Amino acid sequence: MSVVPLVVAAAIGTGGDGSTMGAVAAAMALAAVAYTGLFTLVGLLIRRSLIWGLAYLFIWELFVARVGQGASRLSINTYPASVLSHLTDIELPQAERGFAYAVAIPLLAAGLSVVLTAWRLSRADVA
């Protein structure tokens, strides 16, 4: 739901530049996979997960990770931004990750989240 509108916005903003639209699609798909995996696990483990998820986004991603260099390594947002920066040669703030790490870390986070979610669901009693 978020990838298509952002690709359309990139098309409008760049006048239909296909390479930029492809880079935006790749970076946003990577972000969507990472956030979906993480928030599925959070939704399973934590009560009132919507509130905690919004707190994570607004407090951690938009404030703490932008202030501290070490904290930005724990922010999912910096990795797709790095992918976008590498693919378009546009310098973005907090996008200094290497391309291989920028792709691997969100995929690893998503995969680990899916494995932990599946493990937790296999141990749960569902009536």
Centre a 10 Å sphere on the Cβ of residue 101 and count the other Cβ atoms it contains: 14
Domain ranges of the chain: 3-123
Task: Kindly report the average pLDDT of the chain as a whole number.
Answer: 87
pLDDT score at 74: 80
Q: Check residue 124 and report its DSSP letter.
A: S
- pLDDT tier, 64 (very low <50, low <70, confident <90, very high otherwise): confident
Helices (H), 2-98: 3-14, 18-45, 49-55, 65-67, 69-72, 78-88
pLDDT above 90 (res 20): no
- pLDDT tier, 1 (very low <50, low <70, confident <90, very high otherwise): confident
pTM (predicted TM-score): 0.84
The residue with greater pLDDT, 67 or 41, is 41
User: Among the ranges 1-10, 26-35, 60-69, 92-101, which has the highest mean pLDDT value?
Assistant: 26-35
Average pLDDT over residues 88-116: 90
Closest CA to 112 of 36, 25, 3: 36
Average pLDDT over residues 51-72: 82
Place of tokens 């995969």: 111
